[in-house]
Amino acid sequence: MSKVQLPNTKLFINNEWVESVSGKKIKTYNPSNGKLICEVSEGSKEDVDIAVKAARNALENGEWSKMSSEDRGKLIMKLADLIDQHREHLSDLETLDNGKPLTAATNFDVIEAARSLRYFGGWADKIQGKTIPISSEFTSMTRHEPIGVVALVVAWNFPLLLLSWKLGPALAAGCTIVAKPSEFTPLTALYLCELIKEAGFPPGVINIVNGVGEVVGNALSHHMDIDKISFTGSTRVGRLIMEAASKSNLKPVTLELGGKSPNIIFGDCDVEYVANAAKNYVFANSSQLCCAASRFFVDERIFDVFLTIFTEKIKQLKVGDPYDNDTHLGPLVSKQQLDRVMGYIKKGKEEGATCHLGGEIHNHNVDGTGYYVQPTIFINVTDDMTICKEEIFGPVVVLLPFKTVDEVIQRANNTTYGLAAGIWTKDISLALNVSNRLKSGSVWVNDFNILKSQIPFGGFKQSGFGRDLSEYAIQSYLSVKAITIAHKTLHAQEQ
């Protein structure tokens, strides 16, 4: 691990670094060893008010309000270019703060953050309304206008990427922004602020307020001058945000929440191929992702064979130093998350499931520091067990045999979540039939975790509503205004 240069750790408001009103600090820790990285300014309701005023002024009176859509797009693309140029530094910061392997941060998070912004930069001058034929006496048309000042609240598992997913469509639509990174992983968002200034964004367009959810997130959710809030995180917090929005100014909300994604493996597949593919995605980001393939439904005819091969593949995964290029699984993000995951593993054993592999803390460091968990496989699991129903957000997967297509669809849908699902089969008709019947926002066939800027991403049921990515994401940052013009002149009416 190289020495990483830390970003400015204050709040970023109106293109300036400012200390929080209270002067309080939040500590952020390195999850690979539990040591303090630094302290960042802790925002409060007062800081949120200041940031919202700056965003409102930029929206209505500043340079941003007068800028052409083409020029907005150029700024977004410039920011994407700067992310590419600072890829190494951003990757180092993401690994330091989040614990994900450096190879993943470099080759996925940072690259895809730039690609997402570049995609939405291209959309900025292509947002347009329609003309609507009514009769010979009227002309009606729609304008798609920025919804206003938006709050972006992002989770800690993909700090830079999730922020970029939301910044892109909001900026393309012409909105101004107050964003809150997670208190666990604020560093790449803060470094991004320097690139925002360098790209040339006018003051007040993008503001970053660090802080804890109970304070800053709560203030944003209740704020009477926030026009929309977009949140990625837990279902529990999503409920609180919806409640706050309804109790304040009825601001629209988009939510990307938890998941318990089924992965259905049919008997006609190439077992070796599927097991090898699963090795590469099932514990990505130490399974700290909402669309994690946490429930494997395997055709009973191939269950034992798949289990044997899959187990051997998982044993090949290396848990350890995230700066080592051979590492597949780094630490979990925090001691709190480590305790949560180990609690679920304990619960699974208590409820009668068989821990087939792993199930223990991985002591990577000789002094026992760091928040590492072994890749864990449970078998002899029933659908009503806690580990089969609740989102664990750690490297734990359950394997369940099934007999029929109708049975597995019913069981796969038997969850409060509906974010993602996977299907493995050589039969395209079967794949389409099952895809259509799964209650899930994303269905991937013969692959998994295909996340691209052009493809909408979001959930059904308690996995949330609204979409990140694609043209669909832009729509939620726009207000549609209908203008209808009578062809008769006032003078003609008077006659």
Q: Enumerate the β-bridge partners of residue 142.
A: 482
3-state secondary structure 57-95: HHHHCCHHHHCCHHHHHHHHHHHHHHHHHCHHHHHHHHH
Residue 109 contacts residue 161 (beta carbons within 8 Å): yes
Burial class (CB in 10 A: 0-12, 13-18, 19+), 481: exposed
**Dist. CA 385–CA 140, nearest whole Å:** 56
Concatenate the DSSP letters of all residues of 133-175 into one string: EEETTEEEEEEEEE--EEEEE--SSSHHHHHHHHHHHHHHHT-
**Dist. CA 488–CA 477, nearest whole Å:** 35
90: nearest Cα among 74, 75, 76, 104: 104
Concatenate the DSSP letters of all residues of 290-345 into one string: TT---EEEEETTTHHHHHHHHHHHHHTPPBS-TTSTT-SB---S-HHHHHHHHHHH
Q: Just list the catalytic residues.
A: 256
What would the two tokens of residue 47 be?
A: 């800081």
**Dist. CA 371–CA 335, nearest whole Å:** 6
41-207-159 Cα angle (round to 5): 70
